[in-house]
Structure formats: C-alpha cells, structure tokens
Amino acid sequence: MDVFEAINTTRSMRRLDPSRRVSDADLRTIVEAATKAPSGKNSQPTRWIVVTDPELRRQLGDVYRRCAASLMDDSEEPSLARSAWHLIEHFGEAPALIVACCEGAARRPASVFPAVQNALLAARALGLGTTLTTSHLQDEPAVKRILHIPDDVSTYCIIPVGYPLGRWAEAIRKPVEEVAYRDRWGIPLNA
C-alpha cells in the first residue's frame, strides 16, 4: 500500500470483529514498524505490551468501560457517540490490545507518539483496524496492576487491533487552508 493511501485512509475503527484472530506475525509486524519511528536522541524509549489473553483483555475492557463512560459528552455528534459507545461496550473483545509504555518518571510523548502512529499505519497496511485510546489514564494504576507494569513505567495509550466491521474510507477532515498558516498566525498558507 502506498504511504499516502495509508495516511489518507487510516481512521479510528472502533468496531472490530471479535471472532477473527489477529495473527502473531501481524502483531509482530505492527510492533516492528512502531520501533522504526524517530525518537529523541534515538533513545527508543517506547515499550509495547501486546495483550491477547482473553481474561486480561476482559479486565482491561472493564477499566476502559468505567473510565471512558465517565468522560462521554452528550453533545457528541450522534454517529460518533454511537461508535464511541460501541467501543466502550466491546473494548475487551478486540482480538488484541497493544499498550504503549515508556520507562522513566518523566513523560516523553514526543518520543512515544511517532511510534504509535507507525503502529496505526502498519495495521492499516495489513487491513487491520485500530483506534488510539487514552481513557484508561483516568485509572492507570488499575491497568498497571492487571499487566504487572512497574511503578516507574508510564502508559500512554491502548490500541485495540482487529479486523474492522466497517469500511475503509477517508475521514472527513478540515481543509489545509483552515489549519495552516505561513510565517505568522492567521496568514493563509497560500498567500
């Protein structure tokens, strides 16, 4: 798949087929692609926990459900809200959950999230759906207990992975003219 096609069609896939297992080879390919991302001083601080055990996924789903439900906003666009509620109710049924972590007390998102994006793009290239979730951070200690994550390791996101029940398409995005400026705030990029 062309890199621009992957970028243009990678979107949050919250409805995943719980009956279709994701192969270990595909999960390894996703994590390997993630490890190729740039990081500050090439430190490669991101660590990955690939969760496929059904009981652990169920437990993480319980944490996610409690945390994400408390963050839901009734003013959400209806189809987005339905999609979000579907994920809340079925999070633990995703065939795999990938947890991005980083050692050390200081949070280093600039070295973690490029790797996460690589993982999302790799999954898309393999025909797998993903979505980046952070709601578990409302009760990160529970996730750390479930997965035996040491105290000096922070979690950044959990990525459900599976075969999508929806279809691939470009997500609606604002045009570049609305989000980019040249030289100073408010000056159109194409001025």
CA distances for 149 relative to 49, 67, 95, 101, 106, angstroms: 9, 19, 21, 9, 16
Structure confidence at residue 127 (pLDDT): 95
Give the pair of three-digit tokens for residue 181.
């400026």
Structure confidence at residue 5 (pLDDT): 87
Q: φ, ψ for residue 83 (rounded to 5)?
A: -65, -45
The stretches of the chain forming alpha helices (DSSP H) are 3-9, 24-35, 54-71, 78-90, 109-125, 140-147, 176-179
User: Rounded to 10 degrees, what is the CA torsion of 63, 168, 76, 82?
Assistant: -60
Residue 186 near residue 46, CB atoms below 8 Å: no
The whole-number average pLDDT for the span 158-170 is 90
Among residues 95, 112, 103, 105, which one has the least CA distance to residue 37? 112
CA distances for 187 relative to 74, 182, 190, angstroms: 35, 6, 9
The whole-number average pLDDT for the span 89-105 is 93
Q: Percent of the chain at pLDDT above 70?
A: 96
Confidence of residue 104 (pLDDT cuts 50, 70, 90): confident
The pLDDT of residue 113 is above 90:
yes
3-state secondary structure of 33: helix
- 19-29 pLDDT, tens digit per residue, is 999 999 999 99
Could you give all domains of the chain from N- to C-terminal order, each with its CATH number?
3-179 (3.40.109.10)
The whole-number average pLDDT for the span 3-16 is 88
Give the pair of three-digit tokens for residue 71.
């963050």
The pLDDT of residue 75 is above 80:
no
